[in-house]
Amino acid sequence: MAISLIDNELALICPDPVIAIDRKGIITLFNPAAENLLGYRQQEMVGRFQIAELYASPESAREIKRLMYQTNNGLKGQIIGHKTHLQAKEGTMIPIQLSACLIEEHGVEVGSVGFFRDLTERLALERSLKMLSVTDSLTGLYNQRHFHTVLNQEIARSKRYRHPLSLICIDLDNFKSVNDTLGHVEGDHALRFVGESIAGILRNIDYGFRYGGDEFMVLLPETEQASADALAQRLIDYFNRNKPNNLVEISQDNDPVALSIGIAEYLADEPAGVFIKRADLAMYRAKKEPGSRVVLAE
């Protein structure tokens, strides 16, 4: 037997999935937690199912076997905290953490037993926390810190493959009049609307950021300046057609609440700061005239 009777009884009440196998890899124990995780019943697994069929690929199964027999920190026949995937009955890949050891009887190896911890919730939480760390909570766009990370990555990719890269700098004109007239709550609503307008025109490969205050950035990989200009015009059209009534009313009594937009296409080997500055200066040239305007950087 690959696992003793008392171990079998403990495995049945263990909250984590436990699977034991013989030397040929045939499953000899499949506890209730393993049933819940993978959707198989004990009767269809024990004595019938190869453990290798549960792993994501033959390579994953071979890697686990290799780890089991290598000497690790002076110990052989143990795996501690190895991350991999198991395939559930319906085909879903479940991320797990495996700890396992060989089982011997009278000094002879008879099989092994593994304890599997489901990492689905933990990984989802990690992804959620990571998203919170790079996202602006007000607009739902990425934040300024993430902007610089992505910008450097995309500049490196643009240099490597000699593909175009464009940057759109956006400022919400006369935002102060919104805060002064309607209050900061409505000011936040206005910024959310800009964020929604940007998100509404982005392609799958594009990135939208709230750069700070009422300034936004859109990074467009694989995009020349002319195509970026067309996308910016779509943004203005969306903004003007869907502008909330309070912003329309304020625009009638004050200078219009509008978008000033500057666009720069990356020039070979220019520093990231210069690239940003060219888009920023183009945006300030756009601000010199009322209404939503787009200016291309020189």
| Per-residue pLDDT reduced to its tens digit, 57-101 | 999 999 998 888 886 555 678 898 999 999 999 999 999 999 999
Closest to 77 measured CA to CA, from 87, 69, 88: 69
- Whether residue 47 contacts residue 79, with contact meaning beta carbons closer than 8 Å, is answered with no
| Residues marked as catalytic | 214
Q: What is the structure's pLDDT at 289?
A: 86
Residue 40 has pLDDT above 60, yes or no: yes
Q: Which CATH architecture has domain 135-296?
A: 2-Layer Sandwich (3.30)
Q: Quick one: tokens of 152?
A: 């450097």
Closest to 116 measured CA to CA, from 133, 140, 99, 101: 99
User: Taking the complete model, does pTM exceed 0.85, yes or no?
Assistant: no
Residues in CB range of 253: below 8 A, 6 or more apart: 181
Helices (H) and strands (E) in the chain, counts: 11, 12
- The domains spanning 5-123 and 135-296 adopt the same CATH topology: no
For the domain made up of 5-123, the CATH class stated in words is alpha beta
Question: Which residue, chain included where needed, has tokens 């025109």?
Answer: 201
Average pLDDT of the residues in 261-284: 97
Q: Give domain limits for the chain.
A: 5-123, 135-296
